[in-house]
């Protein structure tokens, strides 16, 4: 029997305005004592996730994998890795989250497999082998070298020579991560089946890894040299343009969208491009539902830089962007914004700001505690980019250090064994969930209050329209619905935004006085309910 037709596509769904919580599973909690986080560890802390007030959990990869890139080298897309707890652990976590009204989203890695995946094992047997055309192969250049000058994101050439067949295979990342050929209909059909399988198992969506990286230039042209004066982000776009961000890539997601809509499931793209307009090209009622605006993860604490970025992104993406402040690939916000108490204060202010934008704020586990990057001794580095020479990404270990749960327990409650990564800098009792749970001024409690308040702002959440307010050189202000938001990047100040009531603030340095206006401390964001119109002067 044919599949039923999909429901009418709309710009709304359960994900509209939803708050995401990213769990880097290896570093969240270990239930077996082997030192590596697993799904049983996530299950043991569903109460923390539910109390935080998020709407969905996104898990980093939990499929079987040799682990050379910590799960992003997938050897089987159809089941859960034994070391993560297998299918029983997935089912138990899915049910526990659903019982708490929380959806479950997992990573899918469509651009490449592990070299241990049966498809690639088959493909390497020869030019006529089964699944050979599932991967990108090219003959050598006339001089016998790589077919193009393309660089891997992880350093070195994007081509690896196969002596048996005399051809090169392409890899955007590690040589052990051979790239799939998405111009092959059989590859597309295989992933249609993978998505259907997981949605039928009750998964609520996929975060699509490197969503812009499925197709390569069919002309196999060398990329030009990056001009020395080109900004870094645009330079990386150019450097990777042979196999990233091809204009025909977004159309590949139409079949995925039809499948997802039949199951009321979310497709959330990691579209790693610097231009908001380029990211928005992947978003429509028949493509991806949402995409991260990743440049946010690279900002410093600079009012003009953040303002320019947010204004452009909101204009391009409307309510379809997801707003991360940190991730497993980039420095945590508290570190990026200066470290220590100052960095944590600024990170909270930033979260309060982006949580009011149209779209979806996403919190990396640990950011609700104000965690900084851990410092990893060179001999204990785990990231595969470590020691590979010049790459387009720095070591990511610092943002992946284990979650500190309770200072009274071994390894802060993360594991009874030896942690796969050191806990790093986050070893004080004040950094733990147990300590912050009872401290009303802690980052954890401030994050909870923000999300609880946000959930009740139905007037704000009902519209994607944003009015940006010109309040002065140190202030970034906006109005959305009946909510006015002001972030102060400079010294304590008082600003007149009309009659209003304070809803929540990222610090205690915020007072509303009907005569004098709103007093806002340094590095503080306030959310205000407006009693009368507030417009840009």
CA distance 357 to 461: 9
- C-alpha distance across the termini of the chain, in Å: 61
CB-CB contact of 497 with 513 (8 Å): no
| 248 tagged catalytic | no
The catalytically annotated residue of 151, 237, 270, 431 is 270
With CA atoms as reference, report the closest residue to 34 among 417, 370, 311: 417
**Which is it for the CA torsion 508, 509, 514, 515, positive or negative?**
positive
Helix (H) or strand (E) holding 233: helix 232-239
DSSP 4: P
Question: Per-residue DSSP letters for 227-291?
Answer: PTTS-HHHHHHHHTTTTSS-TTSGGGHHHHHHHHHHTT-EEEE----S-HHHHHTTBSTTSBSEE
From CA 45, how far away is CA 91, in angstroms rounded? 15
CA nearest to 299, candidates 316, 282, 313, 285: 313
Radius of gyration of the chain (CA): 23
DSSP letter, residue 13: S
Length of the chain: 537
Beta strand 266-269 with 510-513 is unpaired
Do residues 31 and 44 lie in contact, with contact meaning Cβ atoms separated by under 8 Å? yes
Could you give the angle at the alpha carbon of 261 between the alpha carbons of 79 and 107, nearest 5°?
35
Closest to 401 (Cα-Cα) out of 417, 387, 420: 420
Q: Which of 73, 151, 160, 209 is catalytic?
A: 209
Of 305, 310, 354, 358, which Cα lies nearest the Cα of 481?
Answer: 358
Within 8 A by CB and 6+ apart from 338, the residues are 301, 346
Tell me if residue 532 is catalytic. Answer: no
Q: How far apart are CA 99 and CA 485, in angstroms?
A: 33
- Compute the distance between CA of residue 30 and CA of residue 50 in angstroms, rounded to an integer: 19
Task: Answer for the pair 269, 291: CB distance below 8 angstroms, yes or no.
Answer: yes
Task: Give the separation between CA 79 and CA 90, rounded to whole angstroms.
Answer: 9
Catalytic residues: 209, 270
């Amino acid at each position: 029997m044919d599949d039923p037709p999909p429901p009418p596509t709309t710009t709304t769904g359960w994900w509209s305005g939803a708050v995401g919580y990213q769990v880097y599973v290896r570093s969240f909690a270990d239930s077996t004592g082997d030192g590596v986080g697993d799904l049983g560890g996530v299950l043991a802390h569903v109460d923390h996730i539910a109390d935080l007030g998020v709407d969905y959990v996104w898990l980093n990869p939990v499929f079987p994998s040799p682990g050379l890139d910590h799960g992003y080298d997938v050897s089987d897309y159809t089941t859960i890795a034994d070391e993560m707890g297998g299918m029983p652990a997935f089912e138990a976590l899915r049910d526990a989250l659903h019982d708490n009204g929380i959806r479950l989203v997992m990573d899918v890695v469509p651009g490449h497999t592990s070299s241990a995946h049966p498809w690639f094992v088959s493909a390497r047997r020869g030019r006529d082998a089964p699944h050979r055309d599932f991967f990108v192969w090219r003959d050598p250049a006339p001089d016998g070298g790589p077919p193009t000058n393309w660089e891997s994101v992880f350093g070195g050439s994007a081509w690896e020579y196969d002596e048996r067949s005399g051809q090169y295979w392409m890899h955007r990342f590690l040589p052990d991560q051979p790239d799939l050929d998405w111009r092959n209909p059989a590859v597309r059909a295989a992933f249609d089946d993978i998505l259907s399988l997981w949605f039928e198992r009750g998964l609520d969506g996929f975060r699509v890894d490197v969503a812009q990286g499925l197709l390569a230039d069919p002309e196999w042209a060398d990329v030009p040299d990056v001009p020395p004066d080109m900004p870094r982000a645009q330079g990386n776009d150019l450097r990777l343009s042979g196999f990233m961000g091809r204009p025909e890539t977004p159309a590949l997601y139409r079949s995925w969208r039809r499948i997802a809509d039949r199951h009321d499931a979310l497709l959330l793209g990691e579209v790693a491009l610097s231009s908001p307009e380029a990211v928005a090209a992947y978003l429509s009622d028949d493509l991806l539902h949402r995409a991260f605006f990743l440049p946010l993860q690279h900002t410093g604490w600079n009012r003009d830089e953040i303002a320019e970025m947010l204004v452009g992104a909101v204009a391009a993406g409307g309510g379809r962007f997801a707003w991360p402040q940190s991730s497993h690939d980039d420095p945590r916000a508290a570190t990026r914004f200066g470290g220590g108490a100052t960095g944590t204060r600024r990170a909270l202010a930033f979260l309060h700001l982006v949580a009011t934008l149209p779209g979806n704020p996403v919190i990396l586990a640990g950011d609700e505690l104000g965690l900084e990057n851990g410092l990893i001794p060179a001999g204990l580095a785990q990231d595969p980019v470590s020691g590979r020479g010049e790459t387009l990404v720095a070591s990511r270990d610092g943002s992946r250090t284990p979650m500190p749960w309770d200072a009274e327990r071994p390894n802060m409650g993360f594991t009874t064994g030896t942690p796969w990564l050191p806990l790093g800098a986050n070893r004080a009792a004040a950094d733990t969930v147990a300590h912050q749970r009872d401290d009303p001024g802690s980052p954890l409690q401030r994050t909870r209050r923000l999300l609880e308040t946000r959930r009740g702002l139905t007037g704000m959440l009902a519209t994607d329209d944003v009015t940006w307010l010109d309040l002065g050189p140190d202030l970034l202000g906006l109005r959305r619905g009946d909510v006015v938001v002001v972030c102060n990047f400079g010294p304590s100040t008082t600003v007149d935004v009309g009659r209003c009531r304070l809803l929540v603030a990222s610090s205690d340095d915020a007072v509303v006085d009907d005569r004098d206006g709103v007093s806002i401390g340094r590095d503080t964001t306030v959310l205000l309910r407006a009693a009368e119109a507030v417009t840009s002067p």
